[in-house]
Chain A
């Protein structure tokens, strides 16, 4: 499976935008870019995913570089509830939806 690289931790203030980066230089043409987050003592939760174009949903936006070797998860206005571990994961065409979790980025949101 292609690997992703994320910063270990990031900090933000409440109501400010947060940009969480992810590098995936070995991504293949069929790999989707997924983001999940895990709040303390809970199971992971789907945030967003995309293939080539930027994506928006009610939780976040996903900006994908033109060469697809990096992406950024954008939380438009961080809240205290957004404090979590954020995982950037690649999933390809023959993976049967399997996800390979790395260490993720620990996001701390300050009031």
Chain B
């Protein structure tokens, strides 16, 4: 199993540009998540999905959009990049089991710089 994979590893965007961060998992997990991590801080939840076709906002959703058309893929879209979106983005997945007892598996991250 590759686990959770993310592309690209690193990207530089100009203000106002758009991009999609890709996330794929091969563990047949129904839950998927997007987090961002600013320097020296903990991760903050952007969006999450409990299954194909179902998504919901996390703590910091503004400026982002997601879709979940398959179990495996959960892309994150930035429409109008702003310097405040400079961060490291982590995708994660988990399998629904005992409520609250799910273990999350994280991808290696995408480092985004908006200039």
Contact = CB atoms under 8 A, between A and B. Distances in A.
How big is chain B's contact interface, by range? Answer: 20 to 34
How big is chain A's contact interface, by range? Answer: 20 to 34
B31 A101 contact: no
Interface stretch (B63-71, B73-81, B104-112): B104-112
B45 A87 contact: no
B108 A97 contact: no
Given A43-B106, A45-B106, A93 B100 contact: yes
A101 B44 contact: yes
A36 B37 CA distance: 15
Interface in B71-115: 90, 92, 94, 96, 98-109
Contacts of B43: 44, 99, 101
28 contacts: A30-B100, A32-B100, A36-B104, A42-B108, A43-B4, A43-B90, A43-B106, A44-B92, A44-B104, A45-B106, A46-B103, A46-B104, A49-B101, A87-B42, A95-B100, A96-B31, A97-B31, A97-B33, A97-B100, A97-B102, A97-B104, A98-B33, A98-B48, A99-B43, A101-B35, A101-B42, A101-B44, A102-B42
